[in-house]
Structure 1
Amino acid sequence: MTKITAIGQKWGHRTTVEVSRERKGQEIKILFNGKEEPCLLSELETALDMAPLMANCYQPPKDSMLAYYNALSACFFEKMENIEVKGRIEQIPTYKEAAVY
């Protein structure tokens, strides 16, 4: 299981976001302060679209944990307090000796 827990200020309130996936290829589950919130989910989906490129040229697939990590750490919160990953998330693809991205 992979889980990203992010804490920060959203709309002036302290918000905890949990993004989890049991196994690669399975559905990603998202909870805001321990429950499903359609309005905040819509904001997170917008943040996925607005997130900056990683390493200045890599856009992770939108259904990846790396994309959610990027969106949460870069543009979902007004003020980020903490982000923590348990398990493994995807990495920016590279060759052995030189970075592709």
Structure 2
Amino acid sequence: MVHNCKLTKGGKRKIGNLSDLKDVKASDAIKQRGGGASKINQLQTGYEDMTVGELANMAAAGDAAETAIKIIKQASSKAQKYGGKIDELLVLVVL
């Protein structure tokens, strides 16, 4: 994807270790980091199609997009903890 989002100073601070994903859609970034559908569903409506860089800039400006950045960052740790099977675990809990 050649979106090439320009990060603001605050956006750079918010994006942190996700800077290599700045031009990737939020939903794709979650998948790349090992997150599943449940993590994508946690994103506010409209955020899933925005790039990580756009979300970081919005979060720096005080938008609720900071939650989306946190969800993307947590996708990796949850996948490591549960071996990428977080969605299956949630289904089992519901059953």
TM-score by length of 2: 0.27
Name the one with the larger strand percent: 1
Name the one with the larger helix percent: 2
